[in-house]
Structure 1
Amino acid sequence: MKNHKAMRRGEASVFRFLIYAFSSLLFAGLLPQRTAAQDFPRLSPDFDRLAQELFAEIQSDQIPYEDLYGTLLLYYQSPLNLNTASPEELRALPLLSEKQVAALLKHRQLTGPLLSVYELQAVPEWNLASIERVAPFVTVQGSSANSARGPLWQRIKNEENNAALLRYERVLQQRKGYSPADSFQGRPTQRYLGSPDALVLRYRVSHAHDFSLGFAAKKDAGERLTWQPAQRQYGPDFLSAHFVLYDQGRLKTLALGDYQLQFGQGLLLSSGLAAGKGAETITSLRRPSLGVRPYAALLENTFFRGAAATYQLAPRWEATAFASHKNIDATAGQSADSLAQFDEFSSSLLLTGLHRTATELANRQRQRETIAGGHLGYLSTDGNLALGFTAVGTHYGTALLKRPQPYNRYEFSGQRNIVFGLHYSYGWRNLLLFGESGCSAGGGLGSVNGVLASLGPAVDAAVLVRQYGVDFHTFYGNALSESTRNSNETGLYVGLKLRPWARWEISAYFDQFRFPWLRYRVAAPSQGQDALLRVAFTPSKTSLLYAQYRGRLKPLDLSASLMGRPVPLPGEQLRHALLLYCEVQPTARLGLRTRLQASYLQADAGLPWRRGYVLSQDASLQLPHRVSLAARYAVFDTDDYDTRQYAFEQDVLYAVSVPALYGQGTRAYLLGQVAFNKHVSLWLRYAETRYRHQATIGSGLEEIKGTVRSEVTGQLRYRF
């Protein structure tokens, strides 16, 4: 019997080797211009295309899209080891379906560790397109790669993933905020106190499942570079640093400085990427439970500052403890009533991270935030069952008291909040069940539960039910919702993905949501709907065509001039959005992308329709001597600001550009990159927006006299 098993193992090893050899030869034939070694080449990720796949339609520049880049940047700099990655780590990549994760785990169990990324061809559900898409973020290594590399200081010194980056940005035209101050009725008007230059300095050295060390400094346009320790400013306005150590015996993770936490479905803690509802209707629905992660982005409010550690209590049990203390931006107020519960309070927390004027500086880091808590997690031997318990306590230096408006009746008030939660994830055959429920101080309840199912070789489905009470309060939660917070909402989401024929894919979702209580600019309990349909066709591995429709019916208060009802109920704003996209690669060095997006908006039934559109043409060119160019020319026309159009633009590495286009005009940019050698790379970008039929651009301190707005960006990276 033993001999029989040994023979089977030997046959499996020989079979895997033959597959690997055949796959290598096949890929070498398919990708002759890229392959120079026996392993699959790790190309730079196409962030623009990934953003289009994860986000259905960009309707705001306030959503932290940089979290997408920050999360994928972590994987790019510290690629996921496919031989040692847990099911949860694999599911954290929003690029992998549940069937692909299950197939890879089964392949590892039957045949052992992968020999190369090429071997993914032998894994069911994996094809060339999916392998190319995920290749920048994964690697194949032995399980003991870190232990044989010597002391920590030596590993840091010798690490190849070690780079510093310096970025400069500026708007060329003078904005009102930088002009000499005038006066009105004897009082000087506000002006920006700093220069119009924006600066970023970043450094990071890291190795997957070993360590991560880095810091960042940022000065936004209009902010001052000053040394004022009394005001907690030490040069640039924003400073961030982290040190994270992994897999030190039973100490699985130790984080010092700035870090992120993500447990369960993000109901209590999800300070990283959350793609939400998008064109990826299945895989992005479930939140991964990644635990403690380093913070490497530049957003000034989506992280914790202090220490966190994860310790393995037993073979299947882990415990995490964390503590954070930082000063955050907030408005300040004083009670005029001597009998009020709080003499001083904050009416709102400010999340822009901008400190350009005297008013913004007065609100800078005014509120003290202290957070502490823990997480206890269990993972079954086969990895199919995961359970967890989370507790988070928050304390503010001064009380939070919202304005006395009807829609704020159930908002959090006070200085302390405690929230507890339970989460689960269970995989069984072609089903993955997941969910999380929580309770906050005062008895508010929140719950989100879902299932991902493979109904056949070409059919995937997802269902998610959510219910967030009006008095459920959590400050770092980011579970799936229509609102920006997990409160005052119930909803049902149904997603579907079909592959009826080779190279064709149909994605769709329908989301029904309801708000039991009033909301900002919605003066009554209300409900709405959101639906999407995308049909994609991939004629070849270098081309893509798709058409996408999205319809949203959402409540919103009407303006006084439009209000013609006896009862002041909110209007039912209906928005239709259409997106047509074509990407081709005529040659190995030239890529072309054409994009047409349009939207039609009606504030309420019977009111006139308003419309807006943007048509853009992109081109990318790979030149000899490690030089690449990318350019766009776009034409836009919208009736007003409500019908403005957003579209991702290619920018310098790790930067995000999502301009709002409204009115009539054109938008163009040119981006160049040159790698002088293996150490030094330079990016230069020029962007310009030209408007028609208007004498000024923008409003307030951002106003520009004229019809042109131009931006320049330069970035230098040095790899040690």
Structure 2
Amino acid sequence: MSEPVFGNPPNRFSNLRVRLTQRYTRRLDLGRGFREDRFLGPPGRLTTRLQLAHERRLQLALTLDKDPGEPLRWSPQTQTYGFDHITGSLALRDLGRLETLVLGDFTAQFGQGVALWQGLRFGKGRDPIAPAHKRGRGVRPYHSASETSFFRGAAATIGLPGELSLTAFASRRRRDASVDSSSAAGTGPLPVRTVSGGGQHRTPSELARKGTFGETTLGGALAYRRAGLHLGVTGYRARFSRPLRPGDRPYRRFRVTGDGTSMLGGYGTVFLGDYTVFGDVARSPRGSFGGLLGAALDGDYAEAVVVGRRYPPDFASFYGNAFGDGSRPQNEMGVYTGLQLQLAPKWSVGAYLDQYRAPWLQFNVPRPSTGWEARVVLDYAPRPRLSSYVQVRVQDEDEGTEYRRAGRSLEGLQRKRRYSTRWHTEYLFSDALTVRTRLELSLHTTPDARSNGFFLSQGLRWSPHPTLTADVRIAFFDTDGFPARIYAYEHDLRYSFSAPVFFDRGRRAYALVRYEPFSSLALEAKYGVPATTIERRLALA
């Protein structure tokens, strides 16, 4: 006899988890736009996030977000329904042969991201191994406050016999774009010059760009997985509601143009004990091939990775987001080598060297260019409660400049080099008190100029009670302008990421307090004070 449809409610809902997050932030020192009433809405940012999950099988997510300066209003003609940005999804997993089903907003990540990778990609950092070797997660529900890099529609992954799986997705969404009104009027819609990723709609001109570019995308992947071998093919076809016309500037020559685009690629990973060989290659509509090939070692005392990449100038991957120095896998060739060694029980060292070149022009770089970047990080942990590291980073590359010859201005290249040295230490006095200190120096040089930077911060985390935690920091900085800028990560509210950039002279202090009176309720508040109007922040939530 089969079980009744309606079982015991406590058993059916005992694993149901509901999480509601409400966040409000605003700058206290309002900029010129608010002082001069340029924006249509108030200066605060308001974000609401609702997540419901039942074990792994069911996930329901809804995110509502309003950026600073955007109004809260109901305006279907501008695609604004209360909040300016609304994203949501329903995901089902492990239902027989149906491995994953996502309705709503989702991302698709396959292989190393040469052909298709929606969502976040971490660049080069302290870890010399992880950024160079990615692991595609297939289709996943999307519930970020960011208004770019996702699909909207439906996606499903079905398990097939023979250790195969088939993924298919269909997406239709609208994005912000700048319409080229100077083009001659024809029978079709006006073309688009650039597709915007900022997602801000604070002024009438920004609202005019909202949702002017439509994308209809069909795609999928066929994957084969067994213990030591992962293989797959992926591809998509996208149609645009307006033709893309990036313009006639030389550096835009090979970007995606026309009424649509497509991509077809293959990827694979082979596991050989401690060694891994991986690769990803794709073909663009112009017939150009781009890809990467790498090998990694994962030993007890050593980790290493070597990755070679080749993305020709005419390899225009519209949804690609593979490893590289640039923001997209195009117009770049390079070799990356990373190494992590455990020198002794208390000592470890990590290092990488990335050498790259751009065979075609880039934005503000009027010639083919070359560059390299190296980083060495030495970690020392003499006690379980004390850790410290020293980091040295050097970046050397070409940048665009102008020369005066016979009274004429000529575009050319000059070499710039950035040095940075950081010392960071962290000590746990007790389970309730942690102290952090950081000192960083920077140097930026060109043939005609030299600028220096200095940054010093002191922070602590204090937890006087299991329900209460306070994280505070004060920082002082002094640089010779923006070229010698220094970045420093800050602890922030949950689901937020903050990495301010400091230049000129000033100080920065903040306090982050978390109070958790019950296991089902957490309250967080952050207060930051910049002591200079020149300090800029880059915050991604």
Q: After TM superposition, is the score higher than 0.5? A: yes
- Aligned residue for 1:123? none
**Runs of 5+ unmatched residues, structure 1:** 1-146, 182-190, 700-708, 712-720
- Aligned residue for 2:523? 682
- Partner SS, residue 205 of structure 2: helix
C-alpha contact 1:159 1:205 (8 A) present in aligned 2: no
Q: 1:652 Cα deviation (Å)?
A: 1.5
1:441 aligns with 2:285: yes
C-alpha contact 1:342 1:399 (8 A) present in aligned 2: no
- Which residue of 451, 461, 480 corresponds with 2:295? 451
1:363 aligns with 2:209: yes
Please say which of residues 229-238 and 270-279 is displaced more in the overlay: 270-279
1:263 aligns with 2:110: yes
Q: 1:410 Cα deviation (Å)?
A: 1.6
Distance (whole Å) between structure 2 residues aligned to residue 155 and residue 525 of structure 1: 65
Within a 5 Å distance, the mapping from 1:198-347 to structure 2 comes to: 198-207=45-54, 209-337=56-184, 344-347=190-193
- Which residue of 450, 455, 468 corresponds with 1:614? 455
- Aligned residue for 1:142? none
Distance (whole Å) between structure 2 residues aligned to residue 540 and residue 390 of structure 1: 48
- Aligned residue for 1:506? 349
- Partner SS, residue 499 of structure 1: strand
C-alpha contact 2:513 2:525 (8 A) present in aligned 1: yes
Distance (whole Å) between structure 2 residues aligned to residue 610 and residue 683 of structure 1: 39
Distance (whole Å) between structure 2 residues aligned to residue 550 and residue 269 of structure 1: 31
- Partner SS, residue 177 of structure 1: helix
Query: What is the identity, as a one-letter code, of the residue corresponding to 1:249?
Result: G
Distance (whole Å) between structure 2 residues aligned to residue 507 and residue 242 of structure 1: 39
Cα distance per residue 1:583-635 (max 9 Å; x no partner)? 11011110011111221111x3x322111221111100011261111100000
- Partner SS, residue 653 of structure 1: coil
- Partner SS, residue 586 of structure 1: strand
Please report the RMSD computed on the Cα atoms of aligned residues, expressed in angstroms: 2.6
Within a 5 Å distance, the mapping from 1:571-720 to structure 2 comes to: 571-602=414-445, 604=446, 606-624=447-465, 626-691=467-532, 697=534
Cα distance per residue 1:533-589 (max 9 Å; x no partner)? 111011233322110111111211125689999963211111111111101101111
1:376 aligns with 2:222: yes
Distance (whole Å) between structure 2 residues aligned to residue 497 and residue 607 of structure 1: 37
C-alpha contact 1:474 1:486 (8 A) present in aligned 2: yes
Query: What is the identity, as a one-letter code, of the residue corresponding to 2:34?
Result: Y
Cα distance per residue 1:115-169 (max 9 Å; x no partner)? xxxxxxxxxxxxxxxxxxxxxxxxxxxxxxxx9x988998884335321011111
Distance (whole Å) between structure 1 residues aligned to residue 60 and residue 409 of structure 2: 62
Q: Higher relative contact order by CA 8 Å / sep ≥ 6: 1 or 2?
A: 1
Q: 1:654 Cα deviation (Å)?
A: 1.5
Over 3 Å counting, the alpha-carbon distance change for 1:341 and 1:637 in structure 2 is farther
Distance (whole Å) between structure 1 residues aligned to residue 406 and residue 510 of structure 2: 42
1:168 aligns with 2:24: yes
Over 3 Å counting, the alpha-carbon distance change for 1:564 and 1:619 in structure 2 is farther
C-alpha contact 2:441 2:454 (8 A) present in aligned 1: yes
Q: 1:359 Cα deviation (Å)?
A: 1.1
1:544 aligns with 2:364: no
Name the one with the larger helix percent. Answer: 1
Over 3 Å counting, the alpha-carbon distance change for 1:336 and 1:155 in structure 2 is farther
Over 3 Å counting, the alpha-carbon distance change for 1:152 and 1:202 in structure 2 is farther
1:490 aligns with 2:333: yes
Q: 1:525 Cα deviation (Å)?
A: 0.8
- Partner SS, residue 412 of structure 1: coil
Distance (whole Å) between structure 2 residues aligned to residue 322 and residue 394 of structure 1: 12
Distance (whole Å) between structure 1 residues aligned to residue 253 and residue 8 of structure 2: 53
Cα distance per residue 1:311-359 (max 9 Å; x no partner)? 0111400000001111101001135447x89761111011111111111
TM-score, reference length from structure 2? 0.94
- Aligned residue for 2:35? 179
Q: 1:287 Cα deviation (Å)?
A: 0.9
C-alpha contact 2:17 2:53 (8 A) present in aligned 1: yes
Query: What is the identity, as a one-letter code, of the residue corresponding to 2:479?
Result: T
**Runs of 5+ unmatched residues, structure 2:** none
C-alpha contact 2:88 2:105 (8 A) present in aligned 1: yes
Query: What is the identity, as a one-letter code, of the residue corresponding to 1:159?
Result: N
Distance (whole Å) between structure 1 residues aligned to residue 426 and residue 82 of structure 2: 44
C-alpha contact 2:403 2:410 (8 A) present in aligned 1: no
Distance (whole Å) between structure 2 residues aligned to residue 412 and residue 153 of structure 1: 54
- Partner SS, residue 539 of structure 1: strand
Over 3 Å counting, the alpha-carbon distance change for 1:379 and 1:666 in structure 2 is same
C-alpha contact 1:335 1:343 (8 A) present in aligned 2: no
- Aligned residue for 1:425? 269
Aligned-pair identity in percent equals 32
Q: 1:651 Cα deviation (Å)?
A: 1.2
Distance (whole Å) between structure 1 residues aligned to residue 205 and residue 378 of structure 2: 49
Distance (whole Å) between structure 2 residues aligned to residue 387 and residue 670 of structure 1: 48
- Aligned residue for 1:555? 398
